[in-house]
Amino acid sequence: MAVPITILDCDLLLYGRGHRTLDRFKLENVTDEYLVSTYGFPRQFIYYLVDLLGVSLSRPTQRSRAISPETQILAALGFYTSGSFQTRMGDAIGISQASMSRCVANVTEALVERASQFIHFPEDEAAVQSLKDDFYSLAGMPGVLGVVDCTHVAIKAPNAEDLSYVNRKGLHSLNCLMVCDARGVLLSAETHWPGSLPDCAVLQQAALTNRFETELHKDGWLLGDSSFVLQTWLMTPLHIPETPAEYRYNMAHSATHNVIERTFRTIRSRFRCLDGSKGTLQYSPEKSSHIILACCVLHNISLKHGLDVWSSSATGHAEQPEEEYTKMEPLDSEACRVRQELLLTHFS
């Protein structure tokens, strides 16, 4: 019986006998310009990922011609930054489209395993104070530990056609809750929430809320927009400012909170698999959530390596529903007191 060539090619690459690797593509044979234009990152960054993920991507196997960590990482970066499994990209690194898909899965899981290493709040007092100082330098808003918001990423309809993933625009999506610092470094990323949940419901159920209510509320707060409910640890803007102090507070709040919007634009611009221009993520909600989280890890690693140019350009077909901003009546009188004290102390 004839064996389809595409399956044979994939199996020869991944299965066989022995432990030899098969790679037709070598990093040293191409320019940095080519790597950045094709895979989104320069040579030294890719070498860093090989060192970081190499053990996870080279797990012992009885199969031969295993794809090297370097090639797996290039395949994954090619998908993350372009949003498609193009045949020409697989051809460039010497693997089939099916192998490209396996590489993306392997690299994604390796990055997700290391998410807590790269996405976390600072713990020591000096780092926490530095975090507050950086935010204060933006617009004079004191005590800020991070800015929080949600963004939607479009996914294909789940096999079970779960309506919980249908957002208010009638599209299937994941609603991702993220917090960043003044530089756009992500401090928290929860990427698994169904798109039907409004932002306030996501935050109410999120691990982030439990952490701030039990351990992270250290004389400071997050900044959230009007889609969230005022909390002692979450400062929101005033719905209808009336006094000069309230106007100054809202202006400082908006200027500081804008960091998270710029961060979302940067992530979507760098990782086009998330921006909707190539269509929705063609995976289950769980796998799509992992891909988003993997891109968040790469975003933080790229900032660590100085690749921190802000992107202000539009990113095409990003499927992010607009929130309906309505007045959220605060339920916590203590939260009202904290915000009022902030107004009187710093904005009067």
d(CA 275, CA 268): 5
The one-letter code for the residue type at 240 is I
pLDDT of residue 194: 96
Give pLDDT tens digits for 14-23. Answer: 333 333 344 5
Tell how far CA 221 is from the center of its chain.
21
Using an 8 Å Cβ cutoff, are 188 and 179 in contact?
yes
- Given the structure tokens 């690693």, which residue do they identify? 301
Residue 200 belongs to what H/E stretch? Answer: helix 199-205
Across the chain, mean pLDDT equals 84
Strand pairing class (186-194; 173-180): antiparallel
Using an 8 Å Cβ cutoff, are 182 and 135 in contact?
yes
pLDDT of residue 3: 41
Strand pairing class (173-180; 144-154): antiparallel
CB neighbour list of residue 28: distance below 8 Å, 6 or more residues apart: none
Give this prediction's pTM.
0.86
Q: Give exposure, 47-79, as e/b (b: 16+ Cβ within 10 Å).
A: eebbebbeebbeeeeeebbbbbbbbbbbbbbbb
Per DSSP, the three-state class of 150 is strand
CA dihedral 290, 296, 299, 304 (to 10 degrees): -110
Give pLDDT tens digits for 75-123. Answer: 999 999 988 766 556 666 777 888 888 999 999 999 999 999 999 999 8
